[in-house]
Amino acid sequence: MTSDRIRKFFVLFFVCGFFLYLFGPLIIMGLTAFNSSAFPRVAPWECFTVEWFDVLSNDTRLLTGLRNSFLIGFGVVLFAVPLGLAGALMLTQVRERVRPWYYTIVISPILVPGVVLGISTLLFWDRIGVMFGASRDSLFYNGFFLTIIGQSTFIAAYTMLVFISRLQRFDSAQEEAALDLGATHVQTFRKILLPFLKPAIASAAVLAFLASFENYNTTVFTAISTSTLTTVLASKVRYGIDPSISALAVSIVVLTVLGAAIHEVFKRREEAEARQAGLVAAGVMERKSTQKQWFLEPALIMILLVFIAGLGTAFFAGTMGVEECKVAVREQKRIETQKRIEELQQRQQAERAAQQAAEEARRVERSQRTGTENFNSIFSSDNLQPQAGDTAPATPQSERAGTENFNSIFDTQNLQQQSGQQEEAPARTGTENFNSIFDTQNLQQQSGQSEGQSGGQSGQ
């Protein structure tokens, strides 16, 4: 393989990857519009249907936002294109020293965030309305008016750049010649400059409309109670979307491509006619009456065929076998769900059986431990009884030292027997008159002794 082929291969690979990166999301989104799944997805594929286009046609909130976006877009075009044209013409008239400063000032709205523009527009017109004492139903608080004004502040700068690029190729000598021949400034602008700026005006109008149609940051603050397509889509994404959004995107893409193809066909046709007119004027050839009609253009024919084929396929897919496919898909989902439930139940039963087996094994292990064969529980009353297999008999209670006269620790005769032993014990000094520590006569005897001792001391 030569180096030239390797280079071509890498160039082709890069170009294919680049276009796949650009159009891949659009292709995937287009496929989700024809899947019967309730959530936009390609896999797993369920049924080929066009029901989401019907859902889109019945979504009044989304269609209202789409209509408002078109109205606001046309308003922005009518407001921003003249502002951009005026700014571009003014740039060509100011002095060379002032031109950089002027250019920086008129371009600066592009650099300001859309959120700042939206909030500032809302606050500015609110103060104006308060100054004039306007009510809440006036123009100063109208969502359409505020949105058009807020978007035009930076979209006008975009259109101005388009006009500046076009005016750089304009020969001002044509205007000077027209003025020398007696034309007014209005006539010069309408007859000479405006036809020259016609392509730039169309480009600026398309750019302004698209920039307004997809704007969200500024619109979300200036729209107030007015809903546009972008705000409705944002709310749907926040609370959950369905493939009707994909159906809307497919419709917009198809209409855009079809409009671009028709525009390209007419443009080529005009160029061919202009070229032929130039050749006829130069006497090179005669004007031919037989020209290719616009509907015979190969590009337009191919686009129309693909479009018709897509509509036909979608129509037949939406009317043939869709309900049967949905029933089959639901049955398959039910079977899969039942299968997962059974697997879960089996897994739970296996876990419970394993736990029971482990508990039984631990119980058997505890019963086989040395010295615990006859112990059922730590609180069992049988544990104190003599155990079978003891090597030495337990010592009788009566033979234990110091317990000969005690039948039980709770026997009432223990004190009586003990009192008899205490009488045989030698008398303790100072306790001759004390029968018991709780005897009530102890205090009387003690008081008599105290009086006798005190009398003797006084006699002495």
pLDDT digits (tens, 9 = 90+) for 115-153: 999 999 999 998 998 888 888 888 888 889 999 999 999
Q: What is the pLDDT of residues 280-320, one digit of tens each?
A: 666 655 555 444 555 566 666 767 776 776 677 666 665 55
pLDDT of residue 411: 61
Contact 206, 158 (CB under 8 A): no
Distance CA 317, CA 355 (A): 54
Residue 48 phi, psi (nearest 5): -85, 115
Contact 224, 143 (CB under 8 A): yes
pLDDT of residue 33: 85
pLDDT at 356 over 80: yes
Give the lowest-confidence range in 81-95, 167-181, 432-446.
432-446
Work out the average pLDDT over 356-360. 89
Radius of gyration of the chain (CA): 52
Work out the average pLDDT over 184-210. 90
Work out the average pLDDT over 386-415. 55
What is the pLDDT of the chain when averaged over all its residues?
78
Using alpha carbons, select from 343, 333, 250 the residue that is nearest to residue 50. 250
First to last CA, the chain: 148
Of the pLDDT bands very low, low, confident and very high (cuts 50, 70, 90), residue 236 is: confident
pLDDT at 423 over 70: no
Q: Say whether domain 62-241 belongs to CATH 1.10.3720.10.
A: yes
Work out the average pLDDT over 67-83. 93
Residue-range domain boundaries for the chain? 62-241
Whose tokens are 């700068």? That residue is 157
Element (H, E) at 308: helix 298-319
pLDDT at 376 over 70: no
Distances from the Cα of 138 to the Cαs of 68, 106, 127, 144, 150, in angstroms?
Answer: 19, 29, 13, 12, 17
pLDDT of residue 84: 93
Q: What SS3 state is found at 113?
A: coil
Work out the average pLDDT over 239-265. 81
Work out the average pLDDT over 34-62. 83
Distance CA 85, CA 207 (A): 14
Written as six digits, the tokens of 132 are: 């004039």
Distance CA 290, CA 301 (A): 20
Between these two residues, 140 and 278, which has the higher pLDDT value?
Answer: 140
